[in-house]
Amino acid sequence: MLTVRHLTKSYRSAQELVAVLRGVDLDIAAGESVALTGESGSGKSTLLHLIAGLDEADSGAIQLGEITITGLTDSARAALRRHRLGLVFQQFNLIPSLSVADNLAFQSRISGKHDAAWQSELIERLGLGALLKRYPEQLSGGQQQRVAIGRALASKPLLLLADEPTGNLDEDTADEVLKLARDLVARTGCGFLMVTHSVRLAATLDRHVHLHAGLIA
């Protein structure tokens, strides 16, 4: 479902070219959950951003289903994020002016893939029924992250990408939120790639890969 081949990315820093990714290869099957760990600065977020089409690789190829992400225009990558990808970040990134109900429906509505029955199932599975009229500032961190996961999965993406999604949560809440994410990923059959610094959380996913010196170990 996701194929990454020979991916490279460098950045210029103080007139020096720093190689972050040196030829990354990665495969994720439909319905598979994969944890990505690595030292700080190893390129974990860079890899996630390249897969999401938020940045361009120097060389190599990224294939999502039948679509080759590398080489797409900015507008085509934006369309890919709307229709094929779900994104969850550490900072939640909910829209402050929208209620929980409207935040949940936002992604699926702009992608034209809103499914009322699936929305209702997400609300029930994520335990958000009593919170639908609240706004993000009225929610705990764990509640906000559950809304963010529901929003990302509402359009039934091919791939869910999560960058340290439990980094701002206490351990018990992190475990609860990640279990919900795993269950919903299994329910939809989408792939799941999660960047995490926690080896303990990484061990709960189907597979654990480690990024070191710009390569998947």
Longest CA span, the chain: 54
d(CA 46, CA 12): 14
Strand partners, 54: none
pLDDT for res 30: 93
pLDDT for res 12: 86
pTM of the model: 0.93
Q: Along the 217 residues of the chain, how does pLDDT read in single tens digits? A: 999 999 999 998 888 899 999 999 999 999 999 999 999 889 999 999 999 999 999 999 999 999 999 989 999 999 999 999 999 988 889 999 999 999 999 989 998 999 999 999 999 999 999 999 999 999 999 999 999 999 999 999 999 999 999 888 899 999 999 999 999 998 899 999 999 999 999 999 999 999 998 999 8
Nearest to 139 by CA among 163, 103, 165: 103
Which distant-in-sequence residues (6+ apart) come within 8 Å of 198 by Cβ? 37, 166, 174
All domains of the chain in start order, with CATH: 31-49+78-216 (3.40.50.300)
Q: Residue 71 region, left (φ>0) first, then alpha (ψ -120 to 50), else beta?
A: left
pLDDT for res 40: 87
d(CA 34, CA 186): 12
pLDDT for res 168: 87
**62 exposed, middle or buried (CB, 10 Å; 0-12, 13-18, 19+)?**
buried
